[in-house]
Amino acid sequence: MALDILVRVEQQGAYSNLLLNSSLQKSALSREDAGLATELVYGSISRLLTLDFVLDGFVSKGIAKLQPWVRNLLRLSLYQIMYLDRIPSHAAVNEAVNIAKKRGHQGISGMVNGVLRSVLRAEELPVLPENLSPEQRISILHSHPLWMVKQWAAEYGLDTAEAMCAANNEPPAASVRVNLTMISRDALLEQMLEAGLAASPSRVSPYGIVVRGGGNLALTSWYRDGYLSVQDESSMLVAEAVAPEPGMRVLDCCAAPGGKSAHMGELMKDEGYIYANDLHSHKAQLIADQAQRLGLDCIATGSTDALLLARSLEPESFDRILLDAPCSGLGVIRRKPDLKWRKQPEDVASVAALQAELLQSVSRLLKPGGILVYSTCTTEQEENSSVIAEFLGNNPGFTSATFTSPVWQRVQGTALAAGEGLQLLPQHYGSDGFYISRLQRIL
């Protein structure tokens, strides 16, 4: 299964998470085997550059000349040998040879056997040339595109860039947000511990619980009954930064799939009005489904281009606005490892222009004295502090309110102050990279 998925991701540009989920749903794999398939797919994609670098030293004509299924078979076998400690190396080799015999011919299985046995005889891998630049060494060792490493090194320094790359290769923890309108965090945590889950309170959010090895928490009765939502810990900070109060009018501009809208509804105790908008109507339906599951009546949904909201809604009519802007997504590489191979430097510049336009447009809908929160799940300052600096320069009626927020008081020992916002990096808490800036309209 892992091999089939890897081939389709490489050949057809399929998204690994979607393909993996649909494949697992159709399969009859045990929980352990489903976990292994997941590890093999995400691990092989995440470590792709390192695996290819090593294999090129053992495949005489280079791996680019191999058939896609052979190349991916070698990658996922090498991944097990280099990075997994519970699978004996000889078992990984035997499995690879058996698959090669079934799918190919004697020559291919012989080549696969020869390459992997040569790998087993080698010393520590990868063996890096001595003439590499620091950025090249990080790129090969931690399997990230060189342009990305160079960009992060320029923005944050070499040590931080390396820590970001290393953190992106760690398996993500599962985290859930507790619906405090139904149950307290302590009470839900107690239930989870009684059920034998390895659960602990989030260090990042007072609404979060981190669960290790608990399987898919969206399949539990807690989820079905509306006690929890599956959400990354960093993402939980956004609604808290908006700080909506019962009775307020709130706009969530780019709201799907609805996690932050729902969190704001919970913080408002379901009293007030949230207009949750998304570009696509089928995604707006996801928001409505979330609200219904969580027992929230204060959320109304709509689907339009967020750039056009200022035309259809009353100026200065919202107490709070959340612009969780479309972004390059480079803060969530740990969860979506194919992202790092799909993105190019120019993607960052093009989305930054859209973000600036969106922020300028929706800011007209905020009441004087109101709060607008701008957030992204990326680490790129061109999309983050640069967008905010340009906006504040053009809009003297707005001021930064980020560093008076309880969110900043909690994370300031770890998160970075990036311009007029806070920047969480993946190594800070093992959560997603996220940027949050809190702006107040003073005129």
305 is in an annotated binding site: yes
244 is in an annotated binding site: no
4 is in an annotated binding site: no
259 is in an annotated binding site: yes
Q: Which long-range contacts (CB under 8 A, 24 or more apart) does 401-407 make?
A: 401/371, 401/438, 401/439, 401/440, 402/241, 402/436, 402/437, 402/438, 405/240, 405/241, 405/243, 405/438, 406/240, 407/237, 407/240, 407/241, 407/436
101 is in an annotated binding site: no
Dist CA 244 CA 224 (whole Å): 26
Dist CA 317 CA 11 (whole Å): 49
Q: Which long-range contacts (CB under 8 A, 24 or more apart) does 127-134 make?
A: 127/57, 134/158
Dist CA 391 CA 398 (whole Å): 9
258 is in an annotated binding site: yes
With CA atoms as reference, report the closest residue to 229 among 193, 198, 260, 270: 260
| Alpha-carbon torsion, ordered 252, 253, 254, 255, to 10 deg | 20
- Write down the catalytic residue from 253, 298, 327, 377: 377
C-alpha distance from residue 327 to each of 235, 380, 406 (Å): 14, 9, 25
278 is in an annotated binding site: yes
Give bridge partners of residue 176 from the DSSP assignment: 209, 230
Quick check: 359 and 441 in contact, CB under 8 A? no
With CA atoms as reference, report the closest residue to 45 among 1, 95, 6, 4: 6
206 is in an annotated binding site: no
To the query of whether residue 165 is one of the catalytic residues in this protein, the response is: no
| CA contacts within 13 A on the Cβ side of 163 | 13
The interaxial angle of helices 48-56 and 68-83, nearest 10 deg, is: 100
Centre a 10 Å sphere on the Cβ of residue 68 and count the other Cβ atoms it contains: 12
Residue whose token pair is 């300028």: 360
Q: Which residues are annotated as a binding site?
A: 254-260, 278, 305, 324
Binding-site members for S-adenosyl-L-methionine are: 254-260, 278, 305, 324
Residues with catalytic annotation? 377
